[in-house]
Amino acid sequence: MATITLKGNEIHTLGNLPEQGSLAPGFTLTTQDLDSTALSDFKGKKVILNIFPSLDTGTCAASVRAFNKEAASLENTVVLCISKDLPFAHKRFCEAEGIKNVVMLSDYKNQNFSDAWQTRITDGPLEGLQSRCVVVIDENGYVKYTEQVPEITQEPDYQAALAVV
């Protein structure tokens, strides 16, 4: 279990992110069009996972905007923005914000992502949602960078993640 805070109050996640250098756990998530996509669909590309609780918070929305801006200039790299928000909410947000350079994915159908990646918050007011994390996976499927943001209301360290890509 990882310990993080929400506005200074201690909360916990299911566990710790995979270790750097380990093979990234597979997953299947739901796209905005209600199709399924898996990590294996991005084989041969660098993958940035932008994991967050909900687009309905300013910090989560800011992270999607920031990665959308950066993704336009990244070669052989895809940014997957992952939350438990419904695909309909993802689609509305992207249309309203002009988000086109990231892939929005939902873990609403099951918890295979949050269980495999240990990102599910297990207590407190956000229980059941994803914690705020950034992970970089290389072209061969190995974890190269992880950040479990210690205070969920803070944005991740974008530059540290992008430096690994």
Question: What whole-number distance in Å separates Cα of residue 15 and Cα of residue 43?
Answer: 26
Count CB atoms within 10 A of the CB of residue 5: 15
> For residue 136, is it left (φ>0), alpha (ψ between -120 and 50) or beta?
beta
Cβ pair 13, 1 in contact under 8 A:
yes
Task: Give the catalytic positions in this structure.
Answer: 60
Question: What whole-number distance in Å separates Cα of residue 29 and Cα of residue 33?
Answer: 11
Please give the angle made by the CA atoms of 151, 87 and 22, to the nearest 5 degrees.
Answer: 55
Nearest CA-CA partner of 47 in 82, 19, 15: 82
